Each structure stands twice: as C-alpha cells, then as structure tokens.
Structure 1
Amino acid sequence: MTDMTKTTSGSLIAAEKVNGTNVYNTAGDKLGSVDDIMLDKASGRAIYAIMSFGGFLGMGEKYHPLPWSSLKYDSQKDGYVVDLDKKQLQDAPHYDQSSPFEWTPEYGRRVDSYYNAPHYWS
C-alpha cells in the first residue's frame, strides 16, 4: 500500500515534504531552508516554520522561527518567500544546536513581535 502522505494535492502538502524547502527573500536571495514546523496541538495549524540559516556543513547553523503567516509559497521558486533581508534575519530571535533552548510563551511573543506577526501566545 502507498503512504498517502507522500503525495500532495492542490494546496495540501505533507509536513515531511515541507522540511528542506528553500526560503527566499523578496529579492530572490536564498536565506535558508525549512528545518521543522511547529504546530498548535489543539487546532493542528502550523504556527512557525523553523528555518536553518548560515553555517557550513551543519556547523554554526542557526535556527530561526518564522511565523507561518510571514511565509508565502512561490510555485515558480518551489519555495517560500519572506519579506526579510539577511541583516534583519541576523538580528532576529534564533537559537543554535550547541546551546540549551526551551520554547516558552515569552520567546514566542518575542518572535511574533520581531516579525510584526499576530500574537499566537495570549
């Protein structure tokens, strides 16, 4: 039997297919790629895309939570586009693999505020 999550239809896509999708800015520069997706447990809605940015061969890579609402899918690029430049991204909330990280509502509000996105955290 075929795993139905491997196929896409219309605007639906399996999360595993989103992981690895490139993220570009409006100038067409590749900023990084989607490393993971944060979902609301109750509604099932995607709230954040975790984008990997920088580093070389996985070293020094930083992870930037982007509000899902800030991503626009571009079928010609086969990737997501955000209205950010590299400087804005360098100053954005982020974390890396080598330091302890805990997702808290305070951190989520900081991310939402930085990107001027609707607050998920009440």
Structure 2
Amino acid sequence: MGRLDTTGTLIGADKVAGTTVYNAEGENLGSIHDLMIDKQTGRVAYAVMSFGGFLGMGSDYHPLPWSTLTYDTNMGGYVVHLTREQLEGGPTFSEDEDPHWGDRDYEKRVHDYYGSGPYWM
C-alpha cells in the first residue's frame, strides 16, 4: 500500500496515536493512545489519552470526547481546555479494565464530566 498523504485536513488514525495532548497553557498532559470510532456513523467518538506512568508503563487511560480536542499546528499536537487536576479527576481506566464502550450511561458520564454533548446526538 502506498504512503497516505496527511498534509491536508485528513489524517490516518495511526498518525494520531502518540500525538501529544496539551492544555491551553501549553503544558504536556499526555498523548493519544487510541481512537474510538462509532461503527455506524464513522465519526471519531473518543480519543483515549494515556496519562501518567513511565515510558507507557502504568499509564491510566482517559476517554476524552473527541469534541474536546482541537489540533494546534503551531504546537504539533492536540489542545484541551482542561487543567491537569481536571484530567486527573476525570473518568479513567487501566489497561486491564473494560471501559464499557457502548454503555450509554457510562458514556454519558464521560460527556457530562467534560461538559460536551454526546457524539450520538
């Protein structure tokens, strides 16, 4: 397969994984671990951010509604308008936990915490 051009407005999911997430003050909060995509609409629903740990070991994962992230070309990463403390207090799961994707009550709690409308509406 040929190289996919990511210089326009589209980017491959494999290029998003590993991208740094900053807060509005430019503080490095972590990086994108994975994306969760709605199977029916094809829309990105969540960016799963890795946070904490050392060299990816012992990291917690934070499901962030995709609508809370904005790509900043100057920073070369995504920006969320959250403090480190807000992120630390948010919904989280570890590598060996099931975050209950598809459970609307669980997902609503994620969206409510971050003050964003559900992706399915």
Fold agreement, TM-score > 0.5: yes
Please give the TM-score of this superposition, normalised by the length of structure 1.
Answer: 0.90
CA distance, structure 2, for counterparts of residue 98 and residue 43 of structure 1: 28
2:47 paired residue number = 49
Alpha-carbon distance change, 19 to 42 in structure 1, aligned in 2, over 3 angstroms: same
1:57 shift after superposition: 2.7
Give 1:77's aligned amino acid: M
Please give the TM-score of this superposition, normalised by the length of structure 2.
Answer: 0.91
Is there any run of 5+ residues in structure 1 with no aligned partner, and where?
A: none
Residue identity over aligned pairs, in percent, reads 51
The 5-angstrom pairing of residues 98-113 of structure 1 reads: 98-103=96-101, 104-113=103-112
Is there any run of 5+ residues in structure 2 with no aligned partner, and where?
A: none
1:2 paired residue number = 2
1:98 shift after superposition: 3.7
Deviations 1:92-114 (A, max 9, x none): 00101144543222211110000
The 5-angstrom pairing of residues 83-122 of structure 1 reads: 83-103=81-101, 104-121=103-120
CA distance, structure 1, for counterparts of residue 100 and residue 68 of structure 2: 22
Aligned residues: 120
| RMSD of aligned alpha carbons | 1.5
- Verify the 8 A CA contact 1:26 1:83 in the aligned structure 2: yes
Q: Does the alignment pair 1:77 with 2:75?
A: yes
Identify which range, 76-85 or 7-16, moves more after superposition.
7-16
